[in-house]
Amino acid sequence: MKPAAAIIELDRLEMGSLTPRLSFDEGWVRELAEDIGRNGQIKPIIVRPHPSKPGFYQVVDGEHRVRAMMLLGEKTIRAEVHQLSDSEAALLAMRVNELHGKRLSEIEEGIHMLKLQREFGWTEEEIARRVGRSRQWVSDRIRVAENAHEELLRMHAAGKIALAHAREIIELPKEEQPRVVRKVVEENLTSRQTALLTHVLKKAESGEERERILQEPVKVLAEAYRSEEEKIQETLLSGKDEIIEVFTCPDCGRKAIVNWVDRRLDWGERS
């Protein structure tokens, strides 16, 4: 069915129910408002009739434009009214943002595809076909979204955690992720440093050991694990049962005792 053009009052719009976004860029809203103020609203938003409130509409695409019009003090907005089922609306909300709007982040895409799976029973293959992507592309994003703690999602939405960091952090149990997220943000860790941190935490054998690791500067861990693969290869070729080395943190004086064969790190007393 061909969409109908309409002028809709802003206070008859419901936002947030269909959007894939975790957050909205206020800077982008201001830029849009300036452009609309100069040139008018060039592109209509997409809405569907509200399923339970007669005379109201749900925004499928264009929430940044709605916010810009509100910022300008406008009362109405141009829209295209589409007759869409729940699943059609959810899919279109993702597709128009991917192709024409301000692009979604990879995790936002993953969260929305996870919604398509859980609410509508779509398989990864079906989602991939409908969005024109590979199954691996879909699977990678869903995996991150499904295994990420709420704090990780929140920091990603705020632009403080990149996808490269998130891929490393989700290797940890969800309950352990918030403290790692805070450490990554507070110490401005790179993705490589984050990978090292999660690697060491996964090897920790007790809560006390994990606590000590989280309190140490990452550069101490990097020093302790430098040339790890070469050390292991050395051990295997030499026929020795183990190689143990001790490193001392230049800042706090605590000793890091590394068993390169077992890939185990123990913390000793301060010097």
Residue 57 pLDDT: 97
In terms of pLDDT, which residue wins out, 161 or 2? 161
38 versus 242: which is more confidently predicted? Answer: 38
The answer on pLDDT for 102 being more than 60 is yes
C-alpha–C-alpha distance, residues 247 and 187, integer Å: 22
Average pLDDT, the chain: 83
- By mean pLDDT, which of 67-76, 79-88, 255-264 is the weakest? 255-264
pLDDT above 50: residue 232: no
Mean pLDDT of all residues in 2-30: 87
pTM: 0.62
Q: What is the DSSP string of 208-226?
A: HHHHHHHHS-HHHHHHHTT
- CATH code that applies to domain 1-104: 3.90.1530.10
Q: What percent of the chain has pLDDT over 70?
A: 78
For residue 171, pLDDT beyond 60: yes
pLDDT in tens, 179-213: 999 999 999 998 888 888 888 888 888 888 888 88
What is d(CA 70, CA 79) in angstroms, rounded to the nearest whole number? 15
Domain residues of the chain, as ranges?
A: 1-104, 178-270
